[in-house]
A and B are shown apart, each in its own frame.
Chain A
């Protein structure tokens, strides 16, 4: 048997041959949500044409959309890691509220530098608490983070018992206040931060051993354990990373809103998980896409902007957003459910099925 013969028969070469053709299933896997986003943006441009005030492509509108997407995007990036890992963090709303409050209070004491440091530090601290509960105390993540959600919000409410924490109007020109404001030719600084965070996340997830371990653990905890991957180390990283993301997101959020109290951003955690899942992360773990999450966050933000401009009733807004999520998941579910032999099914079925048969 020559090496040439062996080569001809491996699934990998068969895969490579088929890869040259366009495969609808894998396209949807990687670029599905991005494609929907593109369609939505085109629809938005058609509905509100031009570049004047009131048009979709007007620079003020674009800047506003990018600013609005940032804090959701940063946390959704870290949440994607968690969902791929087979867990999730329900306390991010409370973490955001608490971190925003602490950051504003710190600004009152020590100015911009202290405020920025306080935000990051508080975020990491919250993440540490979560990770210790989950790893050292073996509390199931769902329960641990749900409990901490109330604790964080409670602490936030205590800190603002005399009234909400606030960035005084006169201080909007400070370095801290400017974070939420400055933009470079229409691209806001907070959006640049979000993109940078996604790039870092991408590198960690797809190019480092740590990222591969996160995916492996989410895909099959038992197999990962037997391969020597430390569950403690992975879970620890995931929750602290989430805490850090909330710290950075709080900076982009609170410098735009200027105030925070214990009840700020109610329901934030669900929106973040929705974005991650819409972007292709599977709640069962092992599967997820940062490109997808990024597109999902932009999709939801653009959709909200359109709703606002078209004065769509808030009841309809909720219905449509819910439908978008259900449709996206239904497509995903259908794909994994029906491997088959017909031409159409073969085209759209998971690539692995074909590889298995070809091998």
Chain B
């Protein structure tokens, strides 16, 4: 083939690829610039590869479509630049309300700024608000979750006959301020129940780091009786570290995670993790849409915490007793 033809063909492929893009639209429609009653809700999500956020998006979409509104989604793919550019693009496309689950809450500044200019209300779903002027933020009652975990650990330690009063606490990434409440609630409650927090370190929400932390904690205090991790990935990793150190997780050391991820639910059924605290991301998504409706109808929101405009969504402790309800 003559090489001129080769690049003509290449150009043709590129153009047809561009045309094919028009067929690649998802199930959502373009945000309308029309002034009709059709409300469009834009949802910008942390990263759709995580089950937690998939459930959140599903809940949000369900509630939006139940109201007869249009749903438009944007995936931040764990990148703050994508978060800012994409959320601003959503705003520019003419949405009526923005719901955002921010990858980096600190980057919300220019988004909220732009939303205020366009007169679009902003509701934050989990993670954090970055100190900006959002209209409301929906979070799980994380502190209560930590308290519930501590209470459960106390019960289980006594039931298993473990003697040590030393426990481990693995926290999430430092800028997840609401997740931090889990370990704060846990550490406060467990110390008031007479235990000592021997190790409290940040696993940065990462399983590999949590594994190392648990391994080192066991090397320092082999007689630890329980560990509470800020998320399930870290709890499962801690459980593995305990097993690799020659102990039996779930029996020699009580392991409690947070989030209710499938990996933890499996581990609870297998007995290597004792409990987790299930958030309800689907319910959180629905709650944000409820709040959106209140705002668009001109109503006022009742906050759980007026200063930070927080609205709480309840959490449930999941143990081997009720794990069957959550596996579906």
Contacts and interface: CB of A to CB of B under 8 A. Distances in A.
A224 to B, nearest CB: 32
Contact of A60 (B32, B92, B110): B92
Interface string B1-40: 0111111001001110111011011101011110000000
Given A327-B13, A348-B3, A163 B110 contact: no
B268 interface: no
A348 B77 contact: no
Interface of B: 2-7, 10, 13-15, 17-19, 21-22, 24-26, 28, 30-33, 72-75, 77, 80-81, 84-86, 88-89, 92-94, 104, 106-110, 112-113, 130-133, 174-175
Nearest to A342: B2
A53 B4 CA distance: 41
Contact of A320 (B17, B73, B108): B17
Interface stretch (A11-19, A39-47, A74-82, A125-133): A39-47
A314 B174 CA distance: 28
Contact of B2 (A164, A258, A308, A344): A344
B24 A164 contact: no
Given A257-B84, A334-B3, A48 B112 contact: no
A181 interface: yes
Given A164-B104, A316-B24, A64 B88 contact: yes
A258 B109 contact: yes
Interface string A305-344: 1111111111010001001100100110011011000101
A313 B24 contact: yes
Contacts of B7: 330-331, 334, 348
Task: Select the residue from A257, A307, A309, A342 with max chain B CB neighbours within 10 A.
Answer: A257
Contacts of A55: 33
A167 interface: yes
B21 A345 contact: no
A53 B94 contact: yes
B77 A314 contact: yes
Interface string A162-174: 1110111100100
A308 B21 contact: no
Chain A interface size, as a band, is 35 or more
Given A312-B21, A348-B3, A166 B106 contact: yes
Contact of A169 (B4, B31, B74, B109): B109
B15 A163 contact: no
Contacts of B93: 53-54, 61, 309
Contacts of A68: 85
A135 interface: no
Given A47-B22, A306-B21, A344-B2, A257 B88 contact: no
Contacts of B13: 327
In the A-B complex, the 10 residue pairs with the closest CB atoms: A259-B106, A53-B94, A53-B33, A52-B33, A60-B92, A258-B109, A311-B26, A166-B106, A344-B4, A169-B132
B92 A58 contact: yes
B174 A162 contact: yes
Interface string A254-272: 0011110000110000000
A180 B88 CA distance: 13
Contacts of B94: 52-54
29 contacts: A43-B19, A47-B22, A53-B31, A53-B94, A54-B31, A54-B32, A54-B33, A54-B93, A54-B94, A68-B85, A163-B175, A169-B113, A257-B84, A258-B107, A258-B109, A265-B81, A304-B85, A311-B26, A312-B24, A313-B26, A323-B17, A327-B10, A327-B13, A330-B10, A334-B7, A344-B2, A345-B2, A345-B3, A348-B3
